[in-house]
Structure 1
Amino acid sequence: MDAEEMIPLSNADAKDMLDLVQKTKPGPFGKRTSEMGNYIGIRDQGRLIAMARERMRPDGYVEISAVCVDEDWRGRGLAGRLVKTLGRQIEQLGEAPFLHVFSDNRSAIGLYERLGFELRRTFHLTRIGHAVSGSAAVL
């Protein structure tokens, strides 16, 4: 398998990243999200099949986010490898990794617990976006 190499991802990978997000729905991810944080990914024969990134950085902590694996590649340890790699990088900087996960994503929660993460807090998330209308307003 060619998928063993983790590679840094950049804006040049944005289309592939958006395609993977469309398939896996890891959470909020927009057209310019690829510009935020340190991304790493795994490709197979050129196709991006898994990725994760660093996002928020409150004092002493770094969030691991956008962890996603193409459905055809799940169960092979790719998400775990990505999270462990980012976690090690974060810890080498003297900071602590953390992450968020939707409460109904039982498989991700199980993975994160096996990797040593523990539930610290449950909170409610409301996403607000622009309403789509039939006509554009001119201001």
Structure 2
Amino acid sequence: MTSGDAAVLDDPVGSSLRGRHTGLARRHGRAAAYLPDVATFAAVSPVPEAADWDDLARLLGPGAFADLFSGEGTPPPDWAPVFALEGRQMIRSGTGLLDLSDPARTGVVELGEADVPEMLDLVERTRPGPFLPRTQELGTYLGIRAGGRLVAMAGERLRPPGWAEISAVCTAPEARGQGHAARLLNALTSRILARGERPFLHVAEENTAAIALYGRLGFETRRHVTFRGFRTP
């Protein structure tokens, strides 16, 4: 894997909206954003000019939330900061062991549109990050059930060329400590590699337990990022 192959990860939202997720995008000029019920993320040119920020403001509307994810461009001064969160981007190095056992034995099942109400309920109880009614359309989502109830899930979100981001990794409080997250991560990693793509993910710097788990499963830090959100003027 050359450094050029990973360059798309410097702008994962823009790369996804221009490629695999173009059908889930809305655009104005050189600005793009996901449809409102799919994801909150928006992107401008990697080296934005004043006109790019004007395009994004017109696309989102006045006083709207602009989730710039890990984009490094600085909006104009009249864009009000909403949040800034330190994090890191991790890619799979290829050294972790994969769980290739029968999904029927691991309890991993594929989730679809009919499962969205349960997925939204699990997200509400665990707060893994933004997840909206159509987020599951971004890629494959897998889950684990206990007593017929969804207790853990993880799925694919951003899709830059050659890569798939693992996201929404969450486990209900009553089901933690049973290895569900590791099983889901391994199952997703296996699927992504089988397609000839590479897995990557993002994690908040304060989530040290998740960073340690990802490290055990073969992920290594590629770069540190700051997740940022603003409100348009």
TM-score w.r.t. the length of structure 2 is 0.52
What residue number does 1:22 align with?
Answer: 124
Count matched residues: 128
1:22 CA drift (Å): 0.7
- Judged with a 3 Å threshold, the aligned counterparts in structure 2 of structure 1 residues 129 and 108 are, in CA distance, closer, same or farther, namely farther
Larger radius of gyration between Structure 1 and Structure 2: 2
What residue number does 1:34 align with?
Answer: 136
- Judged with a 3 Å threshold, the aligned counterparts in structure 2 of structure 1 residues 47 and 119 are, in CA distance, closer, same or farther, namely same
Instruction: In structure 1, list runs of 5 or more residues that go unmatched.
Output: 131-139
What residue number does 1:115 align with?
Answer: 217
- Map 1:1-139 to 2 at 5 A: 4-128=106-230
Name the amino acid aligned to 2:141: Y
SS of the equivalent of 2:152 reads: strand
1:46 CA drift (Å): 1.3
Name the amino acid aligned to 1:45: G
Name the amino acid aligned to 2:156: E
8 Å contact 2:106–2:183 — kept in the other structure?
Answer: no
Stretch of structure 1 that moved more, 110-119 or 28-37: 28-37
RMSD: 1.7
- Judged with a 3 Å threshold, the aligned counterparts in structure 2 of structure 1 residues 97 and 71 are, in CA distance, closer, same or farther, namely same
Structure with the higher fraction of residues in strand conformation: 2
TM-score w.r.t. the length of structure 1 is 0.85
Give the distance between the partners of 1:24 and 1:86, measured in 2 at CA: 20
Give the structure, 1 or 2, with the largest relative contact order (CA under 8 Å, sep 6 or more): 2
Give the distance between the partners of 2:113 and 2:170, measured in 1 at CA: 18
SS of the equivalent of 2:145 reads: strand
Instruction: In structure 2, list runs of 5 or more residues that go unmatched.
Output: 1-104
1:31 CA drift (Å): 2.4
List 4+ stretches of structure 1 deviating above 4 A.
Answer: none
1:87 CA drift (Å): 0.3
% identical aligned pairs: 51
